[in-house]
Amino acid sequence: MCTRNEQLTIEVAGVPLDSPVLLAPMAGITDLPFRRVVQRFGAGLVVSEMVASQEMVQAKPGVREKAELGLNVEGTAVQLAGREARWMAEAARMVEGMGARVIDINMGCPAKTVTNGLSGSALMRTPDHALRLIEAVVGAVTVPVTLKTRLGWDDATQNAPEIARRAEAAGVRMVTIHGRTRCQFYKGAANWAAIRAVRAAVRIPVIANGDIVDAATARRALTQSGAAGVMVGRGAQGRPWALAQIAAALAGRGRPAAPAGRALADLVGGHFEDTLAFYGAALGSKVIRKHLGWYMDAAGTPPALRREVLTSGDPARTLSLLGLALDGVAEAA
C-alpha cells in the first residue's frame, strides 16, 4: 500500500507510467472520446476497446476505426483479441504502424461471443496455444506488449501464475489480472489475494483489476495482491475523474473534487459533442446515451429529467437539457 511518503511507480519496458491507476478496456465504452476525457484528468495508461485481430486486418466495417484513431497519444494501448497467431501478428504490426505505443493481448474477456470463438479467456484453457499467440505478437512488433487475463477458466484451473510466467519469458512486459475466473463472469467479489500468486511468479509489473472503484478498494487490492498498480473499469463509468482521484489518494495528496454544477455540465457537453463528431450525429447519439445515463446517475439527476435527456432526438436540445440536468446538481459521493 502506498503511504503519504511513498509513491507507487510502474515501469513498462523501462518507461515509467505517470500513475499506478490504469483504465481497463471495456467493449462499447472505452472508445476514443471517453479515453480523451479520462486522460484529461490523468491516468497511468488507457486501453482501447478490444479489437478483433482478423476482422481488423480484413478491414471489416466498424472494427478498424476502433484502433485507428488516438493510438499515437502517449499513455494509450490498443487491445487485440484473436485465436490465430498469424492474424494477431499482422494486426499488431498494423496498429504499431498506426502509432500504437503499447499493444495489449486480451485473454480475459468472458463473453460467450468471444470465448465460443476460442478467444479471450477461452485461451486460458489452452495455454500452449495462447503462448504461440503471445510469441507471435511479441515477435511482430518493437513496442511493449502486455497481457490482460483472469485467474483461470474456473476454480479448478486457476493457471494465471503459470501463464504469466511463460508470458514473461516470451517477452510480455506487464500483466493485468482480473480477480475472477471466466466462469464467474462478474459475479461475486474479485479475489485480489489470489493475484499474489501471479505476483510471486514474475518480475514484470502485475496490475490488479476487478471491483476497484475508489481509493479504499484500490488500497485493499494493492495490499492483498501485492500488485504494482490497479486497473479501474466499471468504476469509471460516469466518473472519468475517478482514476485521478484514486491516484492522488494513493500518493497521499488528498482527493481532488469531482466536477459539479456548470463544470460538470460543460465536461459532459464536451464529451457529447466529441462523440457526435467522432461517429457522426446519428450513431454518436446512440453511443453516448449510456454515458449520459451514467453521468446523470452519479450526479443524482431527477428521473423525469434524466428520461427527457435520454429520449431527446435533437442534439441541440440534448445539450440544453444536460445543462438543466447537471448544472447545480450536488457532487456525487
The residues annotated with a catalytic role in the active site are 109
Q: Taking Cα atoms as reference points, which of 127, 120, 122 lies closest to residue 106? A: 120
What is the DSSP track for 154-184? SGGG--HHHHHHHHHHHT--EEEEESS-GGG
b or e along 285-306 (b: 16 or more beta carbons within 10 Å of the residue's beta carbon)? Answer: bebbbebbbbbbebbebeeebb
Q: CB–CB of 268/319 below 8 Å?
A: no
Q: Taking Cα atoms as reference points, which of 94, 48, 106 lies closest to residue 75? A: 48
Q: Cβ atoms within 10 A of the Cβ of 277, count?
A: 11
Cβ neighbours of residue 6 under 8 Å, at least 6 residues apart? none
